[in-house]
Structure 1
Amino acid sequence: MAMSASLHLKQSQSLVMTPQLMQSIQLLQMTHFELTQFIEQEVQKNPLLEISPSDGAPAPVSDDGPDMSSDAAMAPRSDSDWFETANTGQAERLTKELDANFEPDFDTDQAERRPDSPELVGQWKSMPGGQGDDGNDFDMDDFAAAGLSLREFVNQQIPFAVSGAADRLIAQHLVDLLDDSGYILPELESVAERIGRPVGDVERVLSILQTLEPAGIFARSLSECLAIQLRQKNRLDPAMSAFVSHLELLARRDFQSLKKLCGVDEDDLLDMLAEIRRLDPKPGSAFTRSASETIVPDIVVNPAADGGWNVELNPDTLPRVLVNQSYYAEVSRHAPRDSADQAFLSECMQNANWLTRSLDQRARTILKVASEIVRRQDGFLRRGVDGLKPLNLKTVADAIKMHESTVSRVTSNKFMMTPRGVYELKYFFTVSISSAEGGDGHSAEAVRNRIRAMINEETADTVLSDDDIVDILKAAGIDLARRTVAKYRDAMNIPSSVQRRREKKAMARIAS
């Protein structure tokens, strides 16, 4: 068969991911903080973009002077401007009068009061810069020095506890190995090899460091941490030592084995258990200071007058981006055509228009998805978790005529403020559990909440097994297998019925 080269024309359509389309997709899944950072970067790069001032912010003043048509012209002048005006003669007369009538006119009793007296504290709070009722003024606590870290706190105690340059070198190396909870790695051999000292010296210095504050630091395990705290309280007797050495039995609520190992009766074991509960398993966590992140809801849901729900975008999360059309027209008029400056301005205008359209489309998409979620989860807003219905991304996507991936991006890291609290949009999407009587299914989150509520209402004599929970749920119309109940219980960190019965009996004896 002869082979020859030939040319053919073929027409086809394909979806091309342009850079702007990719950025639009990224904008959709950005959080409020990420979106704010992105807009600030775009404003710095694009001279045609401006961030509109929020309500109450002063209006910008041009360099040419005050504009009498703006609010800025009505602003009061400073003190230096007042003295430089035509009122100079009045100012001089006022100065002479003050000099002639300079008499001390203040309360001498008030001057003798302590600065921290309640009378003066109340006056200071009403002065400018004090803490007013609105809570917007500064507080002196904001200027306080940062607290000590765990390592800094321990380093302050080492000179008083450890003597000798070699021992202090070992101690400093052990301090560097402390984690945020106050524990160190158990392999002392590797530590001794790394610093070139005998293992015995490292163990001796470690025993000294274990006497420092906070009690329980420099432990290599939870048992050793509790033992250190009990030793400092002079409560580490042989029975208590055996108790903390077998914490795995305590985790399984195997009190019978613990009584045999410790050689105590049930009352003594309950006293030991109560004392263990008063100890700190993470003594170093008190020095951990992590910045708390404030969740800003993107959607606000409030009851409507007609019995429905008002779904609105949070105005605090809406970016205020404007395109300066007048500046573009002014610069374009002076820039020559077919120049690099004109091409740069055109590109900036194109990018600015794209950004404003993308932000508007992002807001509309979020509002559309949130409105559909509220419509389908009306039972949750009225009755709580028990009214939560099963929902998936495809159902919402089909209802609003969008792709499933778009709904997934919208619901990522977005929060909704409802009358029942602030929830992530992903929270409203749960798996469906079939009903025992047919009809609509039940939400997995609602079923887990019902299981948790049943277990919380248990007493020592009415502990429910997994089979009992299955029977109760089936009577309520929820068809659930026993292994599924066990899986939900383990996911909620709820022990088995045997362990719960032992714990509830022990707690009942402690309470009595």
Structure 2
Amino acid sequence: MALAARLELRQGQGLVITPQLQQAIKLLQMSNLELEAFVEAELERNPLLQRDERDHEPEEAPAEAPVAEAAADRIDDSTARADLDAAHDAASPGELATGDAPAQAAGEAGGAVDWSRAGKGGGFEGDADGLDGLLAHEKSLAEHLHDQVAVAGLSPAEAAVAQVLIDSVDEGGYLRADLEEIAERLGCGLPLVEQVLGVLHGFEPVGVGARDVRECLALQLKDRNRYDPAMAALLDNLPLLARRDLAALKRVCGVDDEDLKEMIAELRGLTPRPGAAFGGEPAQPVAPDVFVREGPGGLWHVELNSETLPRLLVDQRYHAHVSGKARSDQEKTFVADCLAQANWLMKSLDQRAKTILKVSSEIVRQQDAFLAFGVEHLRPLNLKTIAEAIGMHESTVSRVTSNKYMATPRGVFEMKFFFTAAIASADGGEAHSAESVRHRIRQLIDAEAREEDVHSDDRIVEILKQAGVDIARRTVAKYREAMRIPSSVERRRMLKEAV
């Protein structure tokens, strides 16, 4: 068969994700901090974008039209909305994302949505305006140690070694560096590094600079003049103490029951993280994306936190100026691209806000019992349930709930918190949320006041089945271990010692 070159025309269909659609998808799953950084980058890159710093009160003739209005002049609204809806679900062909008004979504959710307050500052009435005052800078552990080096009377070489050692101390107060590596890096002998470390061990807080828990506790005991051979043997066998193997501890320490109880009580009075009392980096409070408030008649009001919503404008006056001055095709193309990208960005931000509000309203509708009565009434919920209720795809709901937080009367929760696995009901009724079952298990264990009251995992299974929860013993054990609750044998031991 002869080989020959030829031309063919073929017609086909394919999914093409443009850079604008990729941007819309990325915006949807960004947290408010990531979104802020992205908007800052766009402000620097696009000269037509400006931050809206007005008071959002109607004026006679604003110098700059809002981007949403400018976008309406350049892009057909229905076409842009269809493109953006497709963008949110472009990763999965055949997905459909609706763009209904948020008020309608909230109405279907059974809660009133206050969308009108989006430009007036989100939040609950009575929010603490002085929150930043609570984040005042506290002296860090490193600064505290550096201050002590300055008055320790060290030689210049010793002070240099001390600075390096302090820089290797973590927030808990532990030295996270190899002494030989430090000596080699500084070009000094290992004895000098060990000598300076000994000086560091004498600094406040006691126990700082330790390389493990045993050394940290030993330093604190030496400071109290309570480090004797029996206590040293106890520190050498901390795994036995963790397993509550008191018989073996008495043998290795050579003490009786009374002495061992006193030694354990003394260990409990020490701190395994001496640096925890010092301030580190300033605390970063979580800024919720959505506020949920209880309204009259038992309805829940859902509103976006306007403080996390970017406020941008397109400078139409500047656009008219530069477009009139453009002469070459390259300049005209650049100006046109900047305007189109600014318009698309604002459409994407608007759609992102509406989608977040729509998903949040449905979550509130599904979990209204939790908001009203507590965690025991948290219902089983998955992405598919929310997606079907609001006409979106699961991937869209997943993107919306990633790294987003909701402030409710019961606290601030990540949106993923409201999605829990279902545990079947023993009597065939409504399924139970895994989170609510974990809460019941903790309540049962917290109520154990005497050694006779301790419940085994099997007994907990029986109690839960009597309450209508069909759960396996291995599931109870898994939940208990996840909550770091000891086994029934260890809990009996602890209660016996407490008596």
TM class, shorter-chain normalised? 0.7 to 0.9
Tell me the residue number matched to 2:14.
Answer: 14
Give the partner amino acid of 1:263.
G
Query: Aligned equivalents of 1:227 and 1:194: distance in 2?
Result: 29
Tell me the residue number matched to 1:498.
Answer: 489
Tell me the residue number matched to 1:420.
Answer: 410
**Bigger shift: residues 295-304 or 488-497:** 295-304
Determine if the alignment matches structure 1 residue 284 to structure 2 residue 284. Answer: no
1:183, 1:219 within 8 Å by CA — same for their partners in 2? yes
Query: Aligned equivalents of 2:27 and 2:165: distance in 1?
Result: 47
Tell me the residue number matched to 1:403.
Answer: 393
TM-aligned CA distance change 1:299 to 1:185, over 3 Å: closer
Tell me the residue number matched to 1:454.
Answer: 444
2:319, 2:335 within 8 Å by CA — same for their partners in 1? yes
Q: Give the drift of 1:181.
A: 2.5
**Bigger shift: residues 284-293 or 219-228:** 284-293
TM-aligned CA distance change 1:48 to 1:152, over 3 Å: closer
TM-aligned CA distance change 1:176 to 1:316, over 3 Å: closer
Tell me the residue number matched to 1:183.
Answer: 174
1:335, 1:342 within 8 Å by CA — same for their partners in 2? no
Gap runs ≥5 in structure 2: 64-125
Tell me the residue number matched to 1:249.
Answer: 240
Query: Aligned equivalents of 1:312 and 1:401: distance in 2?
Result: 20
**Bigger shift: residues 28-37 or 42-51:** 42-51
Tell me the residue number matched to 2:289.
Answer: 298
Tell me the residue number matched to 1:81.
Answer: none
* Corresponding residue SS for 1:306: helix
1:464, 1:497 within 8 Å by CA — same for their partners in 2? yes
2:139, 2:279 within 8 Å by CA — same for their partners in 1? no
* Corresponding residue SS for 2:297: coil
Q: 2:223 aligns with which of 220, 232, 240?
A: 232
Q: Give the drift of 1:165.
A: 7.0
Q: Give the drift of 1:413.
A: 1.0
Listed as ranges, the matches of 1:131-142 within 5 Å are none
Q: Give the drift of 1:20.
A: 0.2
| Superposed CA offset, 1:55-90 (max 9, x none) | 499x9x999xxxxxxxxxxxxxxxxxxxxxxxxxxx
TM-score (norm 1): 0.75
| Superposed CA offset, 1:214-260 (max 9, x none) | 21123222112111111111111232222222211221222233233
TM-aligned CA distance change 1:166 to 1:353, over 3 Å: closer
* Corresponding residue SS for 2:430: coil
Tell me the residue number matched to 1:43.
Answer: 43
* Corresponding residue SS for 1:464: coil
Identity %: 53
Q: 1:384 aligns with which of 374, 393, 415?
A: 374
Query: Aligned equivalents of 2:364 and 2:268: distance in 1?
Result: 44
TM-score (norm 2): 0.76
2:293, 2:302 within 8 Å by CA — same for their partners in 1? yes
Determine if the alignment matches structure 1 residue 264 to structure 2 residue 255. Answer: yes
Give the partner amino acid of 1:243.
L
TM-aligned CA distance change 1:398 to 1:268, over 3 Å: same
Query: Aligned equivalents of 1:30 and 1:357: distance in 2?
Result: 16
TM-aligned CA distance change 1:415 to 1:134, over 3 Å: closer
Q: Give the drift of 1:151.
A: 4.5
Q: Give the drift of 1:449.
A: 1.2
Gap runs ≥5 in structure 1: 64-132
1:335, 1:341 within 8 Å by CA — same for their partners in 2? no
Tell me the residue number matched to 2:24.
Answer: 24
1:162, 1:208 within 8 Å by CA — same for their partners in 2? no
Q: Give the drift of 1:267.
A: 3.4
Query: Aligned equivalents of 1:360 and 1:156: distance in 2?
Result: 51
TM-aligned CA distance change 1:239 to 1:301, over 3 Å: same
User: Which structure is larger by alpha-carbon Rg, 1 or 2?
Assistant: 1
